[in-house]
Amino acid sequence: MALQLVTGNKAYSSWSLRPWILMTHKHIPFEETLINIYDGKGKRAMRRHSPTGKVPVLYDGQLRIWESLAIMEYLHERYPAKGIWPKNAAARAHARAIANEMHSGFQALRQHCPTNFVRDVRKRELTEAAAADAARIDAIWSEARKAFGEKARPKGAFLFGDFCAADAMYAPVVNRLHVYDVKVSKTARAYMDALRALPAWAAWHEDAAREKWRNATYDAI
């Protein structure tokens, strides 16, 4: 039986993008259930699917997994050959640390610059706290590229060389820094360009553009 991934609006759902882009890029087959998280029907559906009332949720037969990081850990165990996390133990530990930092942090940037795949590139001045988050993220990416990504063989343009769960965790931030035209280092820009060039990124973007649901509050930012 195919895996089933329950996701929210592709225009705005940052957490849904994470397992979706990882599974799509890694060619892990799944069926998708897409929910409009902003209307009553969608909210009721989310409560049916998840004890937290939030997406993403992954089903593998009778097994249900919620929380994006837990989903990725499950995929790592279920598909050990797919390179969900880096093979090298030091790289893997580092990747998990920065993925956790993303999962629990950067509230200021997340609030000030919501993920928006239907927004044109338009400059938004950052608050001091959001700018500090963006600077920390730039440092995380630059350090990972220098310590692991640039040394990886075969070569790869991602944080640890090949695209892994840590890249999936930061994919929504790539959208934010891009569409709000935040100034980043050359290393960060090259990394963002590599992520935005993935066919899986283009597929998500196209789906988002086709979506009828719009969030006027987010679109006005």
Ligand X SMILES: N[C@@H](CCC(=O)N[C@@H](CS)C(=O)NCC(=O)O)C(=O)O
Positions in the binding site for ligand X (CB under 6 A): 8, 13-16, 37, 43, 46, 53-56, 67-68
SS3 track for 102-128: HHHCCHHHHHHCCCCCCCCCCCCCCCH
Q: 62-97: string of b/e by CB count within 10 Å (b at 16+)?
A: eeebbbbbebbbbbbeeeeebbbbbeeeebbebbbe
Structural tokens at position 100:
């956790």
- Indicate if the alpha-carbon torsion angle 3, 8, 12, 15 is positive or negative: negative
Separation CA 86–CA 96 (nearest Å)? 10
CB closer to ligand X out of 38 and 79: 38
- Comparing CB distances to ligand X, the nearer of 67 and 101 is 67
Nearer of residues 70 and 197 to ligand X, judged by Cβ: 70
C-beta closer to ligand X: residue 68 or 116: 68
Q: What Rg value do the Cα atoms of the chain yield, rounded?
A: 17
Shortest Å, Cβ 109 to ligand X: 15
Least Cβ distance, residue 46 to ligand X (angstroms): 6
Q: Which position's Cβ is nearest ligand X?
A: 54
Report, in Å, the least distance between residue 93 CB and ligand X. 20
Minimum distance from residue 55 beta carbon to ligand X (Å): 4
User: Smallest distance, Å, CB 70 to ligand X?
Assistant: 8
Q: Name the residue nearer to ligand X (CB basis): 157 or 164.
A: 164
The residue length of the chain stands at: 221
